[in-house]
């Protein structure tokens, strides 16, 4: 029984090869290189520039307040030190809230881009598979090794760029 099982395991690669042509695609890489994806992602990044500027400003403000407290805290009046600490805490809270808001906006934007691009990616892969006579296309992240001639990522990216 063990010999039959061992022989079957040895035959799996041959059976897989006999089953048909296989292609490998780096789906994420193909998407990231596609013009439409880059355009959409660029718009998303642009929409977050104001938040990023405000985050940078708040971060600098918090740093300045901390440095001032470290340098002058011992020589300040109790009221001035309390006011500065309160100001720093308020800025930290604002910074955290804005950071969370920007992260949610980024995640939502990324999800919207993927909802638009995923059907296009599937169609592009299917078009290339049909054109190349492939019976199966495997995601490159699931593959340990492949011959470079099985990689259809560039062809998928080109197909995505042709699709509107």
CA-to-CA separations, 68 to 63, 71, 75, 89, in angstroms, rounded: 9, 5, 11, 14
Q: Which contacts qualify for 109-113: CB closer than 8 Å, 24 or more apart?
A: 109/44, 109/47, 109/48, 110/44, 113/37, 113/40, 113/41, 113/44
User: What does the pLDDT read at residue 1?
Assistant: 52
pLDDT over 90 (residue 100): yes
Q: Could you tell me the pLDDT band of residue 12, with boundaries at 50, 70 and 90?
A: very low
Chain position carrying tokens 């259809």: 152
Cα(32)–Cα(107) distance, rounded to whole angstroms? Answer: 16
More confident residue, 7 or 57: 57
User: What does the pLDDT read at residue 40?
Assistant: 96
Please tell me the total count of domains within the chain: 1
Task: Give the residue numbers spanning the domain of 40.
Answer: 2-162
Over the stretch 48-83, which tens digit does the pLDDT of each residue have?
A: 999 999 999 999 999 999 999 899 888 889 999 999
More confident residue, 42 or 6: 42
User: What does the pLDDT read at residue 7?
Assistant: 42
Q: Could you tell me the pLDDT band of residue 164, with boundaries at 50, 70 and 90?
A: confident
Cα(139)–Cα(22) distance, rounded to whole angstroms? Answer: 11
Q: Which residues pair with 136 in a beta bridge?
A: 22
The domain that holds 19 is classified in CATH as 3.30.910.20
CA-to-CA separations, 131 to 19, 60, 127, 155, 158, in angstroms, rounded: 18, 55, 6, 10, 13
């Amino acid at each position: 029984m063990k010999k039959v099982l061992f022989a079957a395991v040895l035959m799996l690669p041959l059976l897989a090869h006999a089953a048909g042509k296989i292609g490998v695609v780096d789906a994420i890489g193909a998407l990231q290189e596609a013009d439409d994806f880059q355009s959409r992602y660029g718009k998303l990044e642009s929409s977050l520039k104001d938040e990023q500027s405000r985050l940078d400003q708040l971060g600098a403000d918090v740093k300045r307040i901390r440095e001032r407290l470290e340098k002058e805290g011992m020589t300040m009046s109790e009221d001035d030190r309390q006011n500065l600490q309160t100001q720093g805490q308020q800025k930290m809270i604002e910074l955290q809230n804005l950071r969370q808001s920007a992260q949610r906006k980024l995640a939502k934007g990324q999800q919207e881009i993927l909802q638009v691009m995923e059907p296009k990616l599937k169609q592009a892969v299917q078009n290339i598979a049909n054109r190349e006579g492939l019976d199966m296309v495997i995601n490159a992240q699931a593959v340990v090794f492949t011959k470079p001639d099985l990689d259809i990522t560039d062809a998928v990216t080109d197909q995505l760029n042709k699709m509107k």
